[in-house]
Structure 1
């Protein structure tokens, strides 16, 4: 593994919710190691080996013990979100990028020696067999655009064994998006969410069985998310506690109500 020792101006990279201390140095990003660190490094090496350009390259460790990743030039939504977050073609390009990532990661397999996820005991069960290592954090902050199209996924801290359907729930959560208008960024209010879910599913090529079960899975994942975020806020503090204290529990509970009220319409759109 290469050790980077050169110095340079450190430009802080902001916009994330949890990871602190991200900086840009030249054409690299320096960041503290995250969860499942060895798996993520192996994953990025695999993506490089199969020629997938839509992810950063893992380059080594610097003299401060930080991971060194390639910096990907492009446009990221940031906060507040730009008006183009409502653009359907941009959204469709994200779904196509996720499909390309899934195709590229297929040969990586599912690691069996991972530590258990940092989750509270007693979570609602998931009837959802594992299929691949997904990104699982496809937020607007983690997608780089070039020329109005999604070019790369960044920040693989939450990458983990999952299913295609679970990954699509995460994608729709942020890009359809799921939730009451009052809880969304102004750029994403008033959108036709059933239509956008259908466009995402079609662009990705989601299977018919996964379309049938997607909203039931979304409901269970949302409930699990509330308990997991509470557990992490209480045990890890930091950004987790900040988000929790800023109203995240109410947002997740309001989203559950929204999912219950809109699940049938979204499923009908997915199957139409």
Structure 2
């Protein structure tokens, strides 16, 4: 782990709690910085953020080191997020397209990242008894893989930056786009969607994301397959995380995220053909 000590500016700083995450607790803002407890994936995340800074990617916070309390210190990213309750603009298709462009910009920046020797993701492949097979496509980059409305910062009505890289791990570009679709289309049973997104045309919104990202034809043709396999595996991985990590993972499981995943799988079975047609149509 990067052991750099953050040098505090002179004078007292008021800590303001930042809300919105499902797992990480105790996140605060202090001046122009954010303080948070380092998670199990911290060595990879810190190296990734240093890489993004080095190549000039502006859409991520900078890792500054650790404060006297042992907390991570990152730059505060100005803008607005779609916190809870969700804002009315959540369904706006212009903002949706900007999410696709931001994910593409991040993936292009991350594609040249090589994790340092000995640094491995905490959330890499982990098989659980009964877990279905993973998609048969090799990883292409270290993806963000948590494109929730809480983790995308908007400025002037467009997605400008990503925060919360805690579950970054090696994935494909299809994995990244499908993850964004989960939250922004949203892919899944409408009963589990925010009220603002329950009546939207999900295949159309998936197409908007894919076009904004600039997905290749090959990747478009793989998306439903990857989505189904990832969803089937998600039930097992979420259950394992709830049992092993507890905390927010256990709370989400207790609140029914496993049932939600099963409903998503059923939705994909019913709507996969329509989704594929929307993505691959000329």
Q: TM-score interval w.r.t. the shorter chain?
A: over 0.9
CA gap 1:77/1:115 in 2 versus in 1, 3 angstroms: closer
SS in 2 for 1:258: helix
Aligned pairs (5 A) from 1:20-39:
20-39=25-44
Q: Which residue of 2 aligns with 1:69?
A: 74
Aligned counterpart in structure 1 of residue 128 of structure 2, from 121, 134, 138: 121
Deviations 1:16-67 (A, max 9, x none): 1000110000010001112321111111111111111100000110000000
Aligned counterpart in structure 1 of residue 84 of structure 2, from 60, 79, 88: 79
What's the TM-score, normalizing by structure 1? 0.96
CA gap 1:201/1:84 in 2 versus in 1, 3 angstroms: same
CA gap 1:35/1:219 in 2 versus in 1, 3 angstroms: same
Q: Partners in 1 of 2:37 and 2:276 — Cα distance?
A: 40
Aligned counterpart in structure 1 of residue 228 of structure 2, from 219, 234, 257: 219
Q: CA deviation at 1:237?
A: 1.2
Q: Quick check: 1:10–1:23 contact (8 Å CA) kept in 2? A: yes
SS in 1 for 2:112: helix
Q: Partners in 2 of 1:199 and 1:163 — Cα distance?
A: 19
Q: Quick check: 2:104–2:213 contact (8 Å CA) kept in 1? A: yes
2:189 paired with 1:177 = no
Unaligned runs of 5+ in 1: none
The alignment of Structure 1 onto Structure 2 pairs a total of residues equal to 272
Q: Quick check: 2:140–2:173 contact (8 Å CA) kept in 1? A: yes
Q: CA deviation at 1:250?
A: 1.2
Q: Quick check: 2:59–2:160 contact (8 Å CA) kept in 1? A: yes
Q: Quick check: 2:47–2:116 contact (8 Å CA) kept in 1? A: no
Q: CA deviation at 1:166?
A: 0.6
Q: Quick check: 2:61–2:76 contact (8 Å CA) kept in 1? A: yes
2:5 paired with 1:2 = yes
Q: Quick check: 1:198–1:270 contact (8 Å CA) kept in 2? A: yes
Unaligned runs of 5+ in 2: none
Q: CA deviation at 1:111?
A: 5.9
Q: Quick check: 2:128–2:237 contact (8 Å CA) kept in 1? A: no
Q: Which residue of 2 aligns with 1:199?
A: 208
Q: Quick check: 1:56–1:70 contact (8 Å CA) kept in 2? A: yes
Q: Quick check: 2:188–2:267 contact (8 Å CA) kept in 1? A: yes
Q: Kindly report the root-mean-square deviation, in angstroms, between the aligned alpha carbons of the 2 structures.
A: 1.5
Q: Partners in 2 of 1:215 and 1:50 — Cα distance?
A: 33
Aligned pairs (5 A) from 1:136-215:
136-215=145-224
Deviations 1:82-101 (A, max 9, x none): 12111011010010001111
Q: CA deviation at 1:164?
A: 0.3
Q: CA deviation at 1:157?
A: 0.3
